[in-house]
Structure 1
Amino acid sequence: MSLAYPPLSSRLDGLQSSAIRDLLKLTARGDIISLAGGLPDPRLMPLDRIAAATEAALSERARLQYTESAGWGPLLEVLAGRESARLGRPVPVEEVFVTHGSQQALSLLAEVLLDPGALVVVEDPAYVGALQVFRAAGARIVAVPLDAEGMRVDVLSDLLARGERPALVHTVSNFHNPRGVTMSAQRRAGLAELAARHNFWVIEDDPYGELWFDRPVPDPVATYSRNVIRLSSASKILAPALRAGWMVAPAAVCRGVELLKQGADLCGSALTQQITADLLADTEWLAAHVNTVRSSYGERAKALVTELRTRFGDRIVSTDAAGGMFVWADFTDGTDTAALLPRAVEHGVAFVPGAAFAVSTDYRHSMRLCFTTDEPETLAEAVDRLHRAIG
């Protein structure tokens, strides 16, 4: 009897596991200080408040039933209120859709908006989860570089002038993953104007926008155009295990996503959506909680950046980390970060080489560092270990 299995779909051709997820397995040892993850600090997750919301959600058996594919009604109403305030315009419930984390929203949107071979413009370096989704959809991917003000909208404009017609443009507008930068207000308006003039979609991926340290971020790109689909999540401000993400999009897009979601998982978890609604609706408590998270992360970000600049001097140029979860650093002395990583692990510290996020530039001399899960003194030790690894 043959042991050969039937073939798998050709959609898997060329797809690779996330280098970051693979790296997390490597660095799971307790003796390694890992700056490689992109994880919120579990010590800052509101365990007692989540427990109280869970108890309330379990007050009757009917709360354990299936819910609507678009999301639990009261959560949709809470999100519509929050997004209305964020966008400065009324957002009807019909334009809000709850997903199993914002990554599922991205995946479903790729199926709704893209035909095989469609052009997708991403930022370079790029969010790895977006690259995986768009490659799986069979898209043709073109990268636009970033600088300190976010996406180079002028480069995108030149691309359009040369006759390229993207189906969509993806941006992580606030505290970019991995680059750490935030798109300026002027560029947000410019991107929205291009989307309206050339009739393409923009997916504004915003999981970090509430994690600012010094001042709030500019108005969303979605403020300027209805061609913009906005994604967000409770993972970074509450807890990833709630798996509560959402999108704000025209009703027709939401209905297309609903059809696909019904075939994928029918509906999300009514239980965790009830818990999330309880927490997000408690605005006074939520504001205090998010302020605590901002304060802790801001202190850690400052500590990491200060240590990098003190220990490495002009050998490294790094972002200032005004919010979010990441610092991006470039070696100016030719250090190859992919080659450095094994030596760093031997010295008890890990990071993500820039090559993991590369599209059209190799980022051989770059690395992404996450500061969220360690106290300042541990981050100082991590930088010391990294310095010793370089020698």
Structure 2
Amino acid sequence: MSPNRPPLSRKLDGLRSSAIRDLLELTSRAEIIGLAGGLPDAQLMPRERIARAAADALRGSEVLQYTESRGWGPLRAVVAERESAGLGRAVPVEEVFVTHGSQQALALLAEVLLDPGALVVVEDPAYIGALQVFRAAGARILAVPLDAEGMRVDALADLLARGERPAVVHTVSTFHNPGGVTMSPRRRRDLAALADAHGFWVIEDDPYGELWFDRPAPAPVATYSPAVIRLSSASKIISPTLRVGWMVAPEPVCRAVELLKQGADLCGSALTQQIAADLLADRTWLAAHIDLVRATYSDRAKALVHAVRDTFGDRVACTDAEGGMFVWATFTDGTDTSDLLATAVEHGVAYVPGAAFAVDTDYRTALRMCFTTSDAGRLEEAVRRLAGAHAAASAST
């Protein structure tokens, strides 16, 4: 840039590109089996049903016009009805706000709820998109670990007892990205109780909750307190191309988000929001569609987990995939997954090293694998390739 022009904003100083997006650019060759991306399977997306909904929407000219900043009214009504069923309480339409995917909701909430220097507590390992948002907001970030029951709420309680006062606690409560675990019902109640007692907001990021395999996910954290702002999306159950996400939040928060959204993009697409409303309101069709996605992902998840355990034995510990899109695995022999990645790509398989999700713990021996876009046979081949890469790397040291 010209030395006569002012520098770019200082908020960019602490930001870095998503390691996952960078990795996808490097591993997009057809011969590489990609376990790195967090993408739903495009072959399961309902193209014909979307096309029919689009054709119906385009019969009226209003769908080509601007729409409300809070989202198209009928879509908000459909979302309010769905969320009411999930939360076990009536969700007013005034507490539903539609965004350009749930990531935009997270970014707008960071501007509404956080001043520079405010404390945000996240899980470790953390969802990369949340870290990017909170760093851009200039937040101070502390992490609490995960275990098999999700966020260690007792560790959060310890932070509070030491005098830390978070403005926001962020959780991917169900089928965690990247950790693959689900917060237990007891911890959900405990987290909500802490929010009420200490006056912080909880952002419950829940794009995967409907993708359960053998049994439904626990009731959302938002069931237990109005201090919980809930985010969800149509991306994982229908298609990311609609760019329809939403949040359920107290009306004053929705009003504040509306002010910021008007300055960012004014409103979303009336066309895709009307399509989404049509699809989400078609209960019989949607239930059958989600059942198909669940069954397909369940078979793939179990194939991946079985292949990892059968191939590596006790050299790798991995989560049981009970839903969602990811398996989190850890080498018990000290293998550094960042160092192994180049050899893995040479052997035709890619994953995301655990270090990409680290906050306080380095997770250098961990990796995240996505099972959604490959069938069982291809996933088994991916694990064979990973084993070959591991053997080659071990032989060279």
Per the shorter chain, which TM-score range? over 0.9
2:51 alignment partner in structure 1? 51
SS of equivalent to 1:338: helix
Report the equivalent of 1:111. 111
User: 1: distance between equivalents of 2:92 and 2:197?
Assistant: 25
1:206 alignment partner in structure 2: 206
Distance 1:153 1:113 in 2: 21
Instruction: Give runs of aligned pairs for residues 28-67 of structure 1, distance below 5 A.
Output: 28-67=28-67
CA distance in 2 between counterparts of 1:128 and 1:360 reads 14
The Cα offsets for residues 328-378 of structure 1, whole Å up to 9 and x where unpaired, read as 000000000000000000000000000000000000000000000000000
Structure-to-structure mapping, 1:269-288, within 5 angstroms: 269-288=269-288
Letter in 2 for 1:175: F
Question: What's the CA shift for 1:2?
Answer: 5.6
Whole-angstrom distance in 2 between the partners of 1:260 and 1:120 = 20
Equivalence for 2:292: 292
Supply the distance in 1 between the matched residues of 2:350 and 2:222 (Cα, whole angstroms).
36
Instruction: Give the Cα separation in 2 of the matches to 1:77 and 1:334.
Output: 51
| Matched position secondary structure for 1:266 | coil
Letter in 1 for 2:60: E
Q: What is the alpha-carbon distance in structure 2 between the residues aligned to residue 5 and residue 236 of structure 1?
A: 43
1:297-336 to 2 correspondence within 5 Å?
A: 297-336=297-336
Q: Distance in 2 between matches of 1:27 and 1:293?
A: 25
CA distance in 2, matches of 1:91, 1:14: 38
Q: Specify whether residues 76 and 344 from structure 1 end up closer, same or farther in structure 2 by C-alpha distance, changes over 3 A only.
A: same
Structure 2 residue 171 is the aligned partner of structure 1 residue 171: yes
For 2:273, give the aligned amino acid. Answer: Q
Letter in 2 for 1:190: D
Paired residues for 1:57-96 under 5 Å: 57-96=57-96
Q: Please state whether the residue corresponding to 2:208 is helix, strand or coil.
A: coil
Q: Partner residue of 1:255? A: 255
- Which whole-Å deviations, capped at 9, do the CAs of 1:23-65 have from their partners, x for residues lacking one? 0000111110000000000000000000000000100222211
**Residue deviations 1:105-131 (CA, integer Å, cap 9, x gap):** 000000000000000000000000000
User: Could you tell me how far 1:4 is from its partner in structure 2?
Assistant: 5.9
Question: Are residue 371 (structure 1) and residue 371 (structure 2) matched?
Answer: yes
Structure 1 distance, partners of 2:182, 2:269, is 32
Alignment of 1:267 with 2:244, yes or no, is no
Return the offset for 1:270. Answer: 0.5
TM-score (norm 1): 0.99
Give % identity: 75
Q: Give runs of aligned pairs for residues 180-191 of structure 1, distance below 5 A.
A: 180-191=180-191
Q: What is the rounded CA distance, in whole Å, between the counterparts of 1:111 and 1:6 in structure 2?
A: 24
What's the secondary structure of 1:203's corresponding residue?
strand
Q: Deviations over 1:152-172 (max 9, x none)?
A: 000000110010000010000
Determine the structure 2 residue equivalent to 1:360. 360
Superposition TM-score, scaled by structure 2 size: 0.98
Partner SS state of residue 214, structure 2: coil
Report the secondary structure of 1:163's partner residue. Answer: coil
User: Structure 1: how far apart are the matches of 2:62 and 2:13?
Assistant: 44
CA distance in 2, matches of 1:2, 1:181: 49
Shift of 1:6: 3.0
Q: Which residue of 2 aligns with 1:145?
A: 145
Gapped runs of 5+ residues in structure 2? 392-397
Letter in 2 for 1:53: A
Looking at structure 2, the residues matched to 165 and 214 of structure 1 have their Cα atoms a distance apart, in angstroms, of: 38
Aligned to 1:241: 241
Aligned equivalents of 1:27 and 1:273: distance in 2? Answer: 33
SS at match of 1:216: coil
Q: What code does the residue aligned with 1:350 have?
A: A
C-alpha distance in structure 2 between counterparts of 1:108 and 1:332, whole Å: 40
Per-residue CA deviations over 1:274-320 (Å, capped at 9, x if unaligned) read: 00000000000000000000000000000000000000000000001
Match of 2:343, SS state, is: helix
Q: Which amino acid is the alignment partner of residue 237 of structure 2?
A: I
Secondary structure at 2:273 match in 1 = helix
Name the CA distance, whole Å, in 2 between partners of 1:63 and 1:175: 35
Question: Paired residues, what number?
Answer: 391
Distance, in Å, in 2 between the alignment partners of 1:3 and 1:238 is: 48
Amino acid at match of 1:368: R
| Cα deviation, residue 14, structure 1 | 1.6
Query: What is the CA-CA distance between 1:5 and the residue it aligns to?
Result: 4.2
Matched residue, 2:394: none
Q: Give the corresponding residue for 1:344.
A: 344
Which runs of 5 or more residues in structure 1 are unaligned? Answer: none
Aligned partner of residue 143 in structure 1, secondary structure: strand
CA distance in 2 between counterparts of 1:14 and 1:87 reads 37
Corresponding residue number in structure 1 for 2:395: none
- 2:132 aligns with 132
Task: Give me the whole-angstrom Cα distance separating, in 2, the residues matched to 1:230 and 1:288.
Answer: 25
How far does residue 227 in structure 1 lie from its aligned partner after superposition? 0.2
Q: Secondary structure at the match of 2:290?
A: helix
| Structure 1 residues 385 and 60: alpha-carbon distance in aligned structure 2, compared to 1, 3 A threshold | same
Matches of 2:105 and 2:70, distance apart in 1: 11
SS in 1 for 2:217: coil
Distance 1:83 1:2, change over 3 A: closer
Measure, in 2, the Cα distance between the counterparts of 1:60 and 1:199: 46
